[in-house]
A = this chain, B = another copy of it.
Amino acid sequence: MTAPNPRLDRTFSALAHPTRRAILQRLSEGDARVTDLAEPFAASLNAISKHILALERANLVIRRKEGREHMLRLNPEPFDGALDWMVSRAELWKRRLKLLDVLLQSDHRNS
């Protein structure tokens, strides 16, 4: 039945933007402030702030306020959730496609 899973929706759509993937990559090297994260990009600070918000909505990033600075930390948990889903689907699908292929071949021999 594979219940609908809104967490996957948010995780995948967060991952669908190259800037957000780059931000995650950067955060894997250590926590960083909003300004630090924005620095390598051409886009405005505000644009990056919004991307961070999207990552927060997906729970891929956790914010901790230290005075006027916001420290962002990578949270791999939902990422692992999406990864698990993909792995299980990949296995299932590959198995089934292989089976269908075999059926098709024997069908061919019988026709």
A interface, CB within 8 angstroms of B: 2, 4-6, 8-9, 12-13, 15-18, 21-22, 24-25, 28-30, 74, 76, 79-80, 82-83, 86-87, 89-90, 92-94, 96-97, 100
Contact = CB atoms under 8 A, between A and B. Distances in A.
A100 B9 CA distance: 30
Contacts of A13: 12-13, 16
Which DSSP category, helix, strand, loop or mixed, fits chain A's interface? helix
A103 to B, nearest CB: 9
Most B C-beta atoms less than 10 A away, residue of A79, A89, A92? A89
A82 B49 CA distance: 26
Given A4-B18, A9-B18, A16-B16, 6 more contacts: A6-B18, A12-B12, A12-B15, A76-B90, A76-B93, A83-B83
B89 A86 contact: no
